[in-house]
Structure 1
Amino acid sequence: MEYLALACRALIGAVFLVSAATKLTSPVRYRSFQRATRRMRVVPRALVKQTAVLVVVAEVAIVVLMAIPLTVSALAGFVVALGLLGGFTVGIVVAVRDGDTEPCSCFGKSTTPMGPQHVGRNAFLLLVAAAGLVGAAVGGPLEFGLAAVAVVGGLVFGGLVTMFDDLYELFRPTPATTSSRHG
């Protein structure tokens, strides 16, 4: 369980690092995030700016908490991640239900319309955070080699999650083209 928790820490930490960095390093992307938050209509319009700031602060806090090598830090990081991911998932469900198909710019620029696949991605991340929380609570001693493998595995999967929209577009089934040949 302790290696699973370590892999989950790396995955969740990587995902939120990229998410926060895309918002903090580009004023254009940050404003796009604010617009998306307003468009989702999950928080009152008057609280959109404050909500955007709190989201970024929470994302940075998750990264820091996952990086501190203490069990209590990991537990706190997973709890914050579960709350934030839950909120994101509700926001996406509401937006899709209301017909909002604007791209999700969670990890930078994207052209993939928001849809059920984003709910699935977040459900996966919720499961990872929950598994990490349980694993961190159980704890135990770690061997360096196995710990390194767990961290690298978590980082690789975290990287894949941050590239989700690109991977989705690459592997998305396209409608079969029908052609009628009369010969």
Structure 2
Amino acid sequence: MTYVVVVARCLLLVVFLVSAFSKLRGRERFTEFVSSVRAFGILPAGAVRPVAALVVLAEAAIVVLVAVPVTAVAGFGLAVGLLLVLTGALAVVVRQRQRVTCRCFGPGSAPVSRRHLVRNGLLIVIALVGAAGALLAPAGALHPAGTTLAIIGGATAALLVVHFDDIVDLFDFRSGGPDRPVRSVGHKPSSR
């Protein structure tokens, strides 16, 4: 179970690092994130910027907490709490069929949809499994090769999460993905 904890720690560290960094990369990026939070229409106008700043602060705290083994359980707990709140906000947007751009990982054009609920649900499960493993598994020496594989697996899975919208769009055969024209793959028009 301890290698599962390493995978979960690495995955959440990379996901929340990318998420926080994408919002703090510059004033424009943070302003775009604030605008997307405002577009959700859930918060009073005066609370939007402070809540957006609190989200980024929580993301950064998760990175630090899951990076250190003795604080990993607190990091998992904070991740679950933040993800539950964010998933609740996403669910409101999906239920109301609003067209709000997802700015979870910086600039993007994907509107909030059920796919984001699925992604967050998976992250919640990973954080819960990581917390359970960290609490229940005896602390012991890990084999360097196993630890390396767990880190690589966690980082790879994190990249899949970060690029989840792009991956889903690759397999969206109905419309060619959002904001993309439909095109035929592997079929050349005849030259007659």
* TM-score normalized by the length of structure 2: 0.86
How far has the Cα of 1:54 moved from its partner? 0.8
Name the structure, 1 or 2, with higher relative contact order (CA <8 Å, separation 6+).
Answer: 1
Secondary structure in structure 1 of the residue aligned to 2:104: coil
What is the one-letter code of the residue matched to 1:18?
V
Alignment map for 1:1-183 (pairs within 5 Å): 1-70=1-70, 73-139=71-137, 140-141=139-140, 142-174=142-174
Query: Which stretches in structure 2 are left out of the alignment for 5+ residues?
Result: 177-181, 183-192
CA offset digits 1:57-86 (Å, max 9, x no partner) = 10000001111132xx00000010001100
Q: Is the 8 A contact 2:6 2:147 kept in 1?
A: yes
Identity %: 38
CA distance in 2, matches of 1:8, 1:38: 31
Secondary structure in structure 2 of the residue aligned to 1:158: helix
CA RMSD of aligned residues (A): 1.6
Q: Is the 8 A contact 1:112 1:169 kept in 2?
A: no
Q: Is the 8 A contact 2:33 2:106 kept in 1?
A: no
Change (3 A) 1:98 1:137: same
Structure 1 ranges of 4+ moved more than 3 A: none
Query: Which stretches in structure 1 are left out of the alignment for 5+ residues?
Result: 178-183
How far has the Cα of 1:175 moved from its partner? 5.0
Number of aligned residue pairs: 175
How far has the Cα of 1:145 moved from its partner? 1.3
How far has the Cα of 1:17 moved from its partner? 0.2
* TM-score normalized by the length of structure 1: 0.90
